[in-house]
Structure formats: structure tokens, C-alpha cells
């Protein structure tokens, strides 16, 4: 086969070649920048102008550092210095992921390929730059979805665990209820008219045992239903009454009595909410328990539980303590499943509470307490305008 001299196919004068080169550069989708061995910009194509927000005339002659944030500026100076000493270019190659900086100061991820211009009058490098912000965002979204899936899997595992636990302990719970009712029946049978104060106390305590046992089995079966996306039972209830009832149940923990709880509930108008009451009680229990735990060994002021309206459609519940508080580092992980700082903690209270509140159309948030402690707040949508007060005209 005959060898063909490629230059013989298309004869052009050097001026045309230069014009074609510039046209090619400007038609390119990627940014292309040519620099000399000192980093001074010599060519800056249209795509580079669009990407970086500079006109070519503004940056030609400037050091390419202006297009980079730290620490890439210093690293780049190092590469050029190395080249000038050794005449060996270290960053030649394709596909390095680094950061660039726009005229506006915005830093964005790029993929950079660098080539050396051979046989030119002086050392020159050409950089081809692709903005990979979109690709990185897709990657970040993918990672987030993976993380959500992992969290869902962990919660499903907990659902399975809850199902197992429910199965194992429902029987003993039923037995406890039956025994306590049997004790009560004995007393009624043998001492029906007794007004002995200790017997009255025993009867009241037996009633509490029954109520708590019933609650325990309800909690487990609702948790299992909830995590397995089973049926959620919603009813319309008065939120202030629900909070008071929850406190009555929670006061079984004597630490609450030691510290005390101050209630400041907004009843004007009465906040009615359509909720799964056991689940919302569970959230309140978690927040109250955490508040009590945070007070350990600290003779602090009472825990404060308050509600107030946010506009006419949402009601906010806050649980405030003056306990040890939460550090900045801990704050970032608070709502992650299995994050705990307690020796015997499970670290699932806040993550389950958050899922419950979000399933109810609300939000659970943390705020640093002033001067100390923590405030956990959740919102719930209130039901309809019928609960609003009658406005006299
Ligand atoms: P657990 O109570 O089992 O640790 P949670 O999910 O309820 O799980 O809480 C996670 C962590 O958040 C706790 O271990 C604690 O470090 C922190 N935390 C939650 N509430 C409070 C609070 N009121 N004060 C201080 N730290 C808290």
C-alpha cells in the first residue's frame, strides 16, 4: 500500500491553520485552557468563559491560579516548579477529579486532563476541563438513596425483632394482667367493704399494673405494625389531654417526680389532632426519658412541656430540659438510628420518633437550650377549622 502524506490531502497556509484551531477550540463543549510553564494563561476558549464566568481578555496573561481554590493553587505551583527544575511534567494524563473556582467565588468539581504541547516555541500545557457538578450530584443523590435504603432495612429488621419480641412476651404480659386482676378480685371478694387505706392503695397499684401491662403490649404491636407499614390507627384527640395522660403514665418513673414537669399547654383554641395516639405517646415518652436521662446527677430545674399554635393549622409541642446538653459533634448524628451516648442506650428513640412525626405530616427538631440543656420540638397538623374559637362579629 502506498504511504500518503496527510498534509498533501489538505493544503492550507499557517494563517488558516490557526483560524481552524481557534474555531475548533471555541466549538468544543469542554473548557480548554493553554498555559505556559509559569502558569500564565495564553488561550481561554468560549466554553471556559461560560464555565468560569470570565471573558478571555480578562484572564489571558493572568496566572491560572485564579481559576483554582486552595489547596489546588499551591499544589499547581508545585507541579510547575517541578517541571521547571526537571523538565518532567507530572500531571500529564486524563481524568483527575479536582476543584475549580468561578469568578463568583463558587467552587465546583471538575475533571481535568492535561497535555503538554510538544515542539512549540516555549513550554506550554493544555488543560481540558469538564464540569462534573451534575455527575457529583447524581452520585450524592445515589449515596443518599442507598443510606435511606440501609436505614429502611435496619428499621425493617427492628420490625422483625419487634414481631419476635411481641410473640415472646405477649403471653407473660397477658399473664401479668390476669394475675393482677385476680388479686384485685380476691380483695373485692374477701374484703368488699374494707376502707383500710393500705388495701385501697394495693387496689390502685394493681390497676396501675394492669394499665401498664396493657400499654406495653399495645406499644409493641403498634411498633410492629408501624415499621411493617401496617395499619396505623388514627383518631381525633385533644392534644392537651393526650399530654396529661402520657404524663400520668410516665410518672411511674420516680425520677420524674424528683425533678418535676412543668406544663404550659395552649388550650385556646383546643388543639385537636388526628393521630395514632399510642405512637405520639411513644414520641413523648422518648423525649421525656431523654430529658430525664440528661439531668442525671444534676439538681436542675423542672422539665418543661409546652404547646403553642404555629399559625392556625399546626400545633407545636416542645420538651425542654436543663440537662447536660448536646455537643456540636453529637448534634450531627442525633437522629441516626443506633446513635447513643448511653451505656445502656439503644439509640433508636429519636430516629423512630422522627419517622413517626414525619408519617403524621410534622417535623421533629432539636434546638440548643438557653442557658443550658436541650429543646426537642415537634409539630403536628391540627384538624380542621372547627376547633378554632368562635369569633364574635
Ligand atoms: P438512646 O436514648 O437509647 O441513646 P435516642 O435516639 O433517644 O437513643 O437518643 C440518642 C442520643 O441523643 C442519646 O444517647 C443522647 O446522647 C442524645 N440525646 C437525646 N436527647 C437528649 C437530651 N434531652 N439531652 C442530652 N442528650 C440527648
What is the DSSP code string of 246-291?
A: HHHHHTTSHHHHHH-EEEE---SS--EEEE-HHHHHHHHHHHHHHH
| CA-closest candidate to residue 348, choices 156, 128, 132, 196 | 156
pLDDT in tens, 160-171: 677 777 777 888
**Can you say whether the dihedral through the CA atoms of 12, 16, 17, 21 is positive or negative?**
negative
Confidence at residue 15, expressed as pLDDT on a 0 to 100 scale: 67
Q: CB 94: neighbour CB atoms within 10 A?
A: 10
Q: Is it the case that residue 4 has pLDDT exceeding 50?
A: no
d(C-alpha 288, C-alpha 348), whole Å: 15
Q: Which of 259, 350, 372 to mutate to test the pocket of ligand 1 (most atoms within 8 A of CB)?
A: 350
Cα 202 to ligand 1 centroid, rounded to whole Å: 35
Closest CA to 116 of 84, 93, 86, 82: 93
Between 390 and 235, whose confidence is greater? 235
* pLDDT attached to residue 32: 94
Among 123-132, 146-155, 267-276, which range has the highest average pLDDT?
Answer: 123-132
pLDDT at 281: 87
What does the pLDDT average to over 168-190? 88
Structural domains of the chain, with CATH? 12-131 (3.30.450.20), 134-231 (1.10.287.130), 233-393 (3.30.565.10)
Ligand 1, atom 23: closest residue by C-alpha: 291
- Which residue has the CA at smallest separation from atom 11 of ligand 1? 340
286 ligand 1 Cβ < 6 A:
yes
Q: What distance in Å separates the CA atoms of residue 65 and residue 71, rounded to the nearest whole number?
A: 10
DSSP 3-state of 3: coil
The three-class DSSP label of residue 296 is coil
Ligand 1 centroid distance, CA of 290 (Å): 5
Which cell goes with 63?
A: 496566572
pLDDT score for 211: 87
- What are 49-101's pLDDT values in tens digits? 999 999 999 999 999 999 999 888 888 888 878 877 777 766 666 668 889 99
Q: Which residues contact 40 (CB under 8 A, 6 or more apart)?
A: 61, 62, 63, 64
- What was the pLDDT predicted at 21? 80
Residues in the chain, overall count? 393
Q: 231 or 293, which is more confident?
A: 293
Ligand 1 proximity of 369 Cβ (cutoff 6 Å): no
CA distance 293 to 287: 10
What pLDDT is stored for residue 14 in this prediction? 66
Judge whether residue 5 has pLDDT over 70.
no
Closest CA to 223 of 315, 359, 376: 359
CB-CB contact of 154 with 338 (8 Å): yes
Residue pair 305/317 in contact by the 8 Å Cβ criterion:
yes
Which candidate, 226, 344, 206, 326, places its Cα nearest to that of 281? Answer: 226
What pLDDT does 393 receive? 27
SS (H, E, C) 163-226: HHHHHHHHHHHHHHHHHHHHHHHHHHHHCCCCCCHHHHHHHHHHHHHHHHHHHHHHHHHHHHHH
Q: Peptide bond preceding 71: is omega within 30 degrees of 0, i.e. cis? A: yes
Q: How far is CA 244 from the centre of its chain?
A: 31
Residue 228 has pLDDT above 70, yes or no: no
- pLDDT, tens digit, for every residue of 100-143? 999 999 999 999 998 888 888 888 889 999 999 999 988 888 87
Ligand 1, atom 7, lies closest to the CA of 349
What is the Cα–Cα distance from 149 to 15, expressed in whole angstroms? 60
Query: In this structure, which residue's CA is closest to atom 21 in ligand 1?
Result: 290
Kindly state the percentage of the chain with pLDDT values over 90: 38
Q: How large is the average pLDDT for residues 227-253?
A: 78
> Would you state the pLDDT for residue 277?
86
Q: Is residue 101 a contact partner of residue 107, using CB atoms and an 8 Å limit?
A: yes
For residue 8, name the pLDDT band (cuts at 50, 70, 90): very low
Task: Provide the 3-class DSSP secondary structure of residue 149.
Answer: helix
Q: What is the distance between the alpha carbons of residues 201 and 286, in angstroms, rounded to a whole number?
A: 29
| Residue 7 scores a pLDDT above 50 | no
pTM check: above 0.85: no
Amino acid at each position: 500500500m502506498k504511504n500518503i502524506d496527510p498534509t498533501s490531502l489538505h493544503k492550507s497556509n499557517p494563517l488558516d491553520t490557526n483560524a481552524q484551531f481557534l474555531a475548533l477550540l471555541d466549538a468544543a463543549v469542554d473548557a480548554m485552557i493553554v498555559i505556559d510553564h509559569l502558569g500564565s494563561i495564553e488561550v481561554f476558549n468560549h466554553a471556559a468563559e461560560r464555565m468560569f464566568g470570565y471573558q478571555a481578555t480578562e484572564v489571558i496573561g493572568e496566572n491560572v491560579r485564579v481559576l483554582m481554590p486552595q489547596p489546588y493553587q499551591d499544589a499547581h505551583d508545585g507541579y510547575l516548579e517541578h517541571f521547571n527544575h526537571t523538565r518532567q511534567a507530572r500531571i500529564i494524563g486524563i481524568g483527575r477529579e479536582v476543584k475549580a473556582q468561578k469568578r463568583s467565588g463558587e467552587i465546583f468539581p471538575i475533571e481535568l486532563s492535561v497535555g503538554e504541547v510538544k515542539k512549540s516555541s516555549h513550554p506550554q500545557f493544555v488543560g481540558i476541563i469538564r464540569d462534573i457538578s451534575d455527575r457529583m450530584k447524581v452520585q450524592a443523590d445515589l449515596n443518599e438513596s442507598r443510606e435511606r435504603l440501609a436505614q429502611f432495612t435496619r428499621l425493617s429488621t427492628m420490625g422483625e425483632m419487634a414481631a419476635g419480641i411481641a410473640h415472646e412476651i405477649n403471653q407473660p404480659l397477658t399473664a401479668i394482667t390476669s394475675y393482677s386482676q385476680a388479686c384485685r378480685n380476691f380483695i373485692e371478694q374477701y374484703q368488699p367493704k374494707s376502707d383500710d387505706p393500705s388495701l385501697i392503695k394495693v387496689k390502685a397499684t394493681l390497676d396501675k399494673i394492669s394499665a401498664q401491662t396493657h400499654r406495653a403490649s399495645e406499644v409493641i404491636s403498634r411498633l410492629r405494625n408501624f415499621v411493617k407499614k401496617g395499619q396505623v390507627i388514627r383518631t381525633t384527640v385533644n392534644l392537651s389531654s393526650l399530654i396529661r395522660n402520657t404524663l400520668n403514665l410516665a410518672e411511674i418513673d420516680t425520677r420524674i417526680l424528683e425533678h418535676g414537669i412543668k406544663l404550659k399547654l395552649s388550650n385556646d383554641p383546643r388543639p385537636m389532632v388526628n393521630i395514632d395516639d399510642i405512637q405520639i405517646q411513644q414520641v413523648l415518652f422518648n423525649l421525656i426519658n431523654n430529658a430525664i436521662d440528661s439531668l442525671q446527677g444534676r439538681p436542675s430545674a423542672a422539665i418543661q412541656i409546652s404547646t403553642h399554635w404555629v399559625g392556625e393549622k399546626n400545633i407545636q409541642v416542645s420538651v425542654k430540659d436543663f440537662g447536660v446538653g448536646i455537643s456540636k459533634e453529637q448534634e450531627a448524628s442525633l437522629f441516626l438510628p443506633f446513635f447513643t451516648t448511653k451505656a445502656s442506650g439503644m439509640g433508636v428513640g429519636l430516629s423512630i420518633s422522627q419517622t413517626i412525626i414525619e408519617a403524621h405530616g410534622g417535623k421533629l427538631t432539636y434546638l440548643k437550650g438557653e442557658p443550658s440543656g436541650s429543646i426537642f420540638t415537634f409539630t403536628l397538623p391540627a384538624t380542621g377549622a372547627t376547633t378554632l374559637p368562635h369569633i364574635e362579629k
